[in-house]
């Protein structure tokens, strides 16, 4: 925690930032703007932030901030290397140094900055430090193992953690949920076929079916008895849920699958594993990764290795090289693993921020960014075409290489970014925008909203599987993605298109009773509200519309005493206590301001105080400090600190405060 930060006990027994408007303002790096006037302070902040952001652009035209998650990425990277027999001392030492530095005073590791200790994360971090030679009786290790035992030990950890432990005999494969490779043969109309899962889960589950079928065990380098609540009974039997419940039904289905494993035809199983392997290899990207994210790459490498692919095979060699590119080596000699990389997302957001901050639309760096984004357009079908086989491609992904999984959110924001740039080849830009708009419209779900990667990915069954106990495994429509698409369609002159209107109607119906909107991909109600209000006003809803007024009232209500806004990730779990509550952050303050400015509140006291907070907490180099995690992979279960969020969103908000809204609004609906 930062020095002087207020602490309190939370509803889950942990400590964290105070949820009410009581957190102190961040350290002030500039003179207070009150005397000079808020407008002048905002102008100075915009100038500094613009210079800082322009200086961070890569020579190729893209921006990318670090994508920080939790230490499970680092621990699992070491376990992978141990499993493959390629773990080296220098990598282990650097990873362990980072993991050790993230341990909390109570011996645990959290899923996000300032969050409560998390059992599975703590188990994996502990094992990683054992790999580096930390003794079980060392004070920091003893403290961690005692806490793990008090939480129920390894038996209470999530399935994915116990899979990693099973690879070394620290857990029994028969005590894990069954995941048969024959799943690859389920037709697309059948429940629990692989396309019922969200793309991130699909890419992970297919290779794990091979791992589950093979049940490999490598010699354990040390015992882990100290992590069992009762070493004599490491996996106590758990009572079954009632047979009439969904949980009970799926638990009994899993037991049946364990029995089926004993009689499943070997030829069918071998064929299923080979089909799964072909599916995996077909989806390997040009850079060797899978989907541009670390977990599917890790499990794909393990699965193919179990099927006989040696480490020098081109597929394996490229896969391992891609994993090295997720590593960030720090000046102190530590090594952090990114779960993913976000250059397309960061670049389009940076472009929007700079233009809205007053950088000329034909500025050479903006043109270079547009050129890079145009080169990243995906012009071939991917897994999304399973549901939309007739839809021509034309979207953008999140990462450097991920042609199989363009996403709707990035596509909408890239279109908004390209529309802001005055490019030397306007026809090329128009054609790319046209394809992106067409693709996004074609990816609308039947309820009128948009998910992130797929159409109507809303099956209720995948989340019920005993195997799926960690995060979201489906991709239903969300308010934030839908809002970005609606805003993009409005800017493209399609406010009155029936498809846009259906999206607007869905958003209005999804507003919470308190006036906020839920944020699926950002934390949380501030992000949702900060996304939806600008979209609705861009589409022509007047500032006087009841939905807009309710949103404004909610934002004013949850503003912190220091003038900023913040929301802790606990709002995903404890909505009533934490909704809109938390220490002020630069990105969340910006989201609130973007909503209020779009609602016509520029001269309000709330906006003035928010602008003043951003200006007064800006660092001398034009950046902001933000240790808090304001992004999500899975709400609550997997949290993200996008290091560029603290820069692009404050610049966008301050730019709109200084220069006004970026586009004229269409007539009211």
Q: Active-site residues: which are they?
A: 409
Residue 9's closest CA among 639, 574, 640? 574
Q: Quick one: tokens of 377?
A: 């357009």
Say whether 81 sits in a helix, a strand or coil.
helix
Contact (Cβ atoms closer than 8 angstroms) between residue 649 and residue 587: yes
Q: Residue 460 burial (CB < 10 Å; 0-12/13-18/19+)?
A: exposed
**DSSP structure class, residue 666:** P
Count the neighbouring beta carbons within 10 Å of the beta carbon of residue 221: 11
Structural element, H or E, at residue 399 = none
Q: Quick one: tokens of 535?
A: 């979209």
Measured between alpha carbons, how far is residue 500 from residues 120, 440, 485, 600, 665 in Å?
A: 42, 11, 8, 22, 15
C-alpha to C-alpha distance for 234 and 172, rounded to whole angstroms: 10
Residue count (the chain): 669
631 backbone dihedrals φ, ψ, rounded to 5°: -120, 165
Contact (Cβ atoms closer than 8 angstroms) between residue 423 and residue 367: yes
C-alpha to C-alpha distance for 178 and 194, rounded to whole angstroms: 15
174 phi-psi bin (left φ>0, alpha ψ -120 to 50, beta other): alpha
CA 611 remoteness from chain centre: 27
Query: Up-side HSE of residue 419: CA atoms within 13 Å toward CB?
Result: 20
Residue 411's closest CA among 362, 352, 481? 481
């Amino acid at each position: 925690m930062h020095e002087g930060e207020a602490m309190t006990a939370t509803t889950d027994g942990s400590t964290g930032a105070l949820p009410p408007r009581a957190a102190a303002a961040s350290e002030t790096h500039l003179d207070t703007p009150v005397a000079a006037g808020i407008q002048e302070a905002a102008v100075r902040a915009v100038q500094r932030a613009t210079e800082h952001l322009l200086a961070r652009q890569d020579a190729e035209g893209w921006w990318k901030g670090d994508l920080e998650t939790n230490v499970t990425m680092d621990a699992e990277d070491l376990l992978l290397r141990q499993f493959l027999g390629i773990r080296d001392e220098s990598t282990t030492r650097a990873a362990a140094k980072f993991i050790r530095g993230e341990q909390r005073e109570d011996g645990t590791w959290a899923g996000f900055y300032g969050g409560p200790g998390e059992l599975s994360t703590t188990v994996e971090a502990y094992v990683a430090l054992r790999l580096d030679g930390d003794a079980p009786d060392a004070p920091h290790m003893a403290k961690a193992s005692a806490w793990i035992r008090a939480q129920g030990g390894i038996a209470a950890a999530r399935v994915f953690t116990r899979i990693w432990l099973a690879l070394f005999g620290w857990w029994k494969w028969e005590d894990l949920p069954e995941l048969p490779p024959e799943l690859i043969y389920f037709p697309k109309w059948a429940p629990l076929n692989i396309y019922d899962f969200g793309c991130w889960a699909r890419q992970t589950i297919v290779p794990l079916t091979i791992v589950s079928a093979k049940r490999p065990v490598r010699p354990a380098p040390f015992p882990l008895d100290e992590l069992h609540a009762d070493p004599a009974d490491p996996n106590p039997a758990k009572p079954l849920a009632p047979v009439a419940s969904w949980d009970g039904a799926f638990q009994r289905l899993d037991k049946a699958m364990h029995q089926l494993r004993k009689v499943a035809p070997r030829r069918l199983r071998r064929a299923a594993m080979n089909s799964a392997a072909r599916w995996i290899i077909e989806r390997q990207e040009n850079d060797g990764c899978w989907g541009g994210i670390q977990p599917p790459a890790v499990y794909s490498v393990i699965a193919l290795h179990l099927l006989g692919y040696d480490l020098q095979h081109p597929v394996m060699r490229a896969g391992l090289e891609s994993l090295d590119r997720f590593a960030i080596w720090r000046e102190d000699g530590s090594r952090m693993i990114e779960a993913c990389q976000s250059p397309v997302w960061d670049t389009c957001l940076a472009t929007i921020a700079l233009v809205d901050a007053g950088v000329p639309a034909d500025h050479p760096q903006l043109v270079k960014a547009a050129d890079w984004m145009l080169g990243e357009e995906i012009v071939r079908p991917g897994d999304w075409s399973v549901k939309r086989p007739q839809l021509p491609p034309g979207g953008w992904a999140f990462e450097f290489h991920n042609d199989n999984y363009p996403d709707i959110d990035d596509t909408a924001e890239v279109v908004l970014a390209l529309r802001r740039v005055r490019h030397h080849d306007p026809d090329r830009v128009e054609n790319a925008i046209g394809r992106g708009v067409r693709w996004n419209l074609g990816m609308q779900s039947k309820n009128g909203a948009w998910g992130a990667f797929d159409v109507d990915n809303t099956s209720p069954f995948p989340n019920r599987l005993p195997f799926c106990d960690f995060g979201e495994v489906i991709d239903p429509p969300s308010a934030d993605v839908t809002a970005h698409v609606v805003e993009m369609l409005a800017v493209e002159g399609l406010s009155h298109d029936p498809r846009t209107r259906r999206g607007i109607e869905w958003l209005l119906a999804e507003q919470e009773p308190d006036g906020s909107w839920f944020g699926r991909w950002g934390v949380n109600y501030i992000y949702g509200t900060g996304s939806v209000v600008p979209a609705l006003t861009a589409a022509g809803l007047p500032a006087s519309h009841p939905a807009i007024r309710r949103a404004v009232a909610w934002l004013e209500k949850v503003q912190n005493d220091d003038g900023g806004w913040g929301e802790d990730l606990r709002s995903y779990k404890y909505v009533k206590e934490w909704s809109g509550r938390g220490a002020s952050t630069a990105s969340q303050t910006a989201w609130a301001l973007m909503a209020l400015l779009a609602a016509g509140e520029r001269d309000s006291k709330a906006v003035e105080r928010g602008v003043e907070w951003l200006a007064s907490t800006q660092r001398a180099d034009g950046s902001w400090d933000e240790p808090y995690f304001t992004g999500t992979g899975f709400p609550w279960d997997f949290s993200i600190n996008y290091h560029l969020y603290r820069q692009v969103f404050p610049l966008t908000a301050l730019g709109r405060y200084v220069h006004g809204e970026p586009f004229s609004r269409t007539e009211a609906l």
